[in-house]
């Protein structure tokens, strides 16, 4: 029994996962409502809210799994990358549980966590595969040859794909977090109504800073009444441009390393157009695409545990190593 804890951004999450990858419980308390009026995550507010929620969320995850805290055999916790104050709340709680129970603590990298969402039951994915990790903070192409490790093939040179969705949503006057709002609105629009070219950069990297600028110009040209009328077309065309850029590079990467199997993880993997654009891709269930603790518990099966008192020396880190 592994207790996973995740507080890297604005989701307070805890989950219980069995050694074979079966998810016994997964609790995610989203703070999106709290940050909406600011149009994005406010780090100080996120930390404070994590502090209020972490105890109840852990208790609920344990109760929901039908177990007792004394049945937990190890604790896995996100140490980074993410908001440092937010990470420290989850890490401190994890240290407390592991120390009190005298069980090992496993430091988990958030990105490894997203990849490990694919190893959860009931249909875990087996490496090797080429993985697109697209979230609010990262857009990476990885080759995964065994569980617990990956090699980077490419990354974004500027904005992350999820960030492009969030910033685009703001331009369109849609609420934060923008990805899901664009996804929903795009269903009612024409993806070929506008042309939003995504810059093609060298190698297997991405660039998404230009596409939001072209959306901004289109919205300016339309004016307020025009935006009102064409909002769904704009959302559909913008989403289509981002999805096309992501899928093209994913297939190029798979060809480059000669690995046939492809997978998509991270919050943007919840996007309905992306999911249907790569029908043969391995995908985690929707609930495990956006931030959650089941993926962290899953990754904790493949990282090195620290026994007390060494576990108390663990520290959080803000950016990827
Ligand atoms: O993985 P995640 O929950 O948090 C990070 O680690 O960043 O990803 C959040 C990102 C946000 O940018 C959000 O707008 C995006 O994932 N997202 C979506 C969808 N659902 C969430 N983007 C496009 N379509 C969606 N349905
Ligand atoms: Zn994430």
As a whole number of angstroms, the distance between CA 168 and CA 212 comes to 6
Q: What is the mean pLDDT of residues 257-270?
A: 97
Mean predicted confidence (pLDDT) in 300-320: 95
**pLDDT value of position 316:** 98
pLDDT of residue 176: 86
Q: Which domains can be identified in the chain, with CATH numbers?
A: 2-117+288-313 (3.30.420.40), 126-284 (3.30.420.40)
111 Cα: distance to centroid of ligand 2 (angstroms): 7
User: Cβ(134) to ligand 1 under 6 A?
Assistant: no
Mean pLDDT over residues 241-266, rounded?
98
Model confidence at 85, in pLDDT bands (50, 70, 90)? very high
Say how many Å lie between the CA of residue 266 and the centre of ligand 1. 7
Which atom of ligand 1 is found nearest the CA of 177? 14
| Mean pLDDT, range 199-216, rounded to an integer | 95
- Between β-strands 11-17 and 23-30, what pairing exists: parallel, antiparallel or unpaired? antiparallel
Tell me, using a 6 A CB cutoff, whether residue 166 lines ligand 1. yes
Task: Please classify residue 114 by burial: count the beta carbons closer than 10 Å to its beta carbon, then call 0-12 exposed, 13-18 middle and 19+ buried.
Answer: buried
Alpha-carbon gap, residue 252 to 266, rounded angstroms? 20
Give the residue among 256, 266, 178 at the shortest CA–CA distance from 215.
Answer: 178
Does residue 177 line the site of ligand 1, with CB under 6 A? yes
The answer to whether residue 277 scores a pLDDT higher than 80 is yes
Q: What percent of the chain has pLDDT over 70?
A: 100
Please identify, by atom number, the ligand 1 atom nearest to the C-alpha of residue 272.
26
- Please name the residue whose Cα sits nearest to atom 16 of ligand 1: 267
pLDDT tier at 190, thresholds 50, 70, 90: very high
Q: Which residue from 81, 109, 77, 113 is spatially nearest to 93, judged by alpha carbons?
A: 77
Which residue is closest in CA terms to ligand 1's atom 24? Answer: 271
The confidence score (pLDDT) of residue 47 equals 97
According to the model, what pLDDT value does residue 128 have?
Answer: 98
Q: How confident is the model at residue 285, as a pLDDT?
A: 92
* pLDDT band of 321, cuts 50, 70, 90: low
219: pLDDT strictly greater than 70: yes
- How much distance in Å is there from the Cα of 196 to the middle of ligand 2? 26
| pLDDT at residue 320, rounded to an integer | 80
Which pLDDT band, with edges at 50, 70 and 90, does 165 fall under? very high
Tell me: pLDDT of 100 over 90: yes
Whole-structure pTM over 0.85, yes or no? Answer: yes
| pLDDT tens digits for range 22-36 | 999 999 999 988 998
Q: What is the mean pLDDT of residues 255-278?
A: 97
280-297 pLDDT, tens digit per residue, is 999 999 999 999 999 999
What are the CA-CA distances from residue 306 to residues 7, 60, 280, 293, 296 (Å)? 20, 25, 38, 19, 16
- Side-by-side strand order, sheet with 129-134: 151-155, 139-144, 129-134, 262-265, 282-283
C-alpha dist (Å) from residue 47 to 35, 59, 84: 12, 19, 9
Answer whether the bond into residue 124 is a cis peptide, omega within 30°: no
pLDDT value at residue 297:
98
Tell me, in angstroms, the distance from the centre of ligand 1 to residue 242's CA: 13
């Amino acid at each position: 029994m592994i207790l996973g804890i995740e507080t890297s951004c604005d989701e307070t999450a805890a989950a219980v996962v069995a050694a074979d990858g079966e998810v016994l419980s997964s609790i995610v308390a989203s703070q999106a409502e709290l940050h909406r009026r600011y149009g994005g995550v406010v780090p100080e507010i996120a930390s404070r809210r994590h502090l209020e929620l972490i105890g109840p969320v852990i208790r609920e995850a344990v109760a929901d799994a039908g177990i007792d805290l004394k049945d937990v055999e190890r604790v896995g916790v996100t140490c980074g990358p993410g908001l440092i104050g937010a990470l420290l709340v989850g890490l401190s709680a994890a240290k407390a549980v592991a120390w009190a129970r005298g069980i090992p603590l496993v430091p988990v990298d958030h990105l490894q966590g997203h990849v490990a969402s694919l190893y959860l039951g009931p249909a875990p994915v087996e490496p090797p595969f080429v993985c697109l990790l697209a979230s609010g903070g990262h857009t990476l192409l990885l080759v995964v040859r065994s569980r617990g490790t990956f090699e980077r093939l490419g990354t974004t040179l500027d904005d992350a794909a999820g960030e492009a969705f969030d910033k685009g949503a703001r331009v369109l006057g849609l609420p934060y977090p923008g990805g899901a709002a664009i996804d929903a609105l795009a269903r009612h629009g024409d993806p070929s109504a506008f042309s939003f070219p995504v810059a093609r950069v060298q190698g297997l990297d991405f660039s998404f800073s230009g596409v939001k600028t072209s959306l901004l110009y289109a919205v300016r040209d339309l004016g307020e009444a025009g935006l009102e009328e064409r909002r769904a077309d704009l959302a559909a065309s913008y989403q289509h441009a981002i999805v096309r850029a992501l899928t093209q590079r994913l297939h190029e990467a798979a060809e480059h390393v000669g690995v046939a199997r492809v997978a998509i993880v991270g919050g943007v993997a919840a996007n309905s157009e992306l999911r249907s654009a790569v029908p043969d891709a391995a995908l985690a269930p929707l609930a495990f695409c956006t931030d959650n603790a089941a993926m962290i518990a899953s990754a904790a099966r493949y990282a090195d545990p620290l026994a007390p008192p060494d576990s108390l020396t663990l520290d959080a880190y803000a950016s990827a190593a």
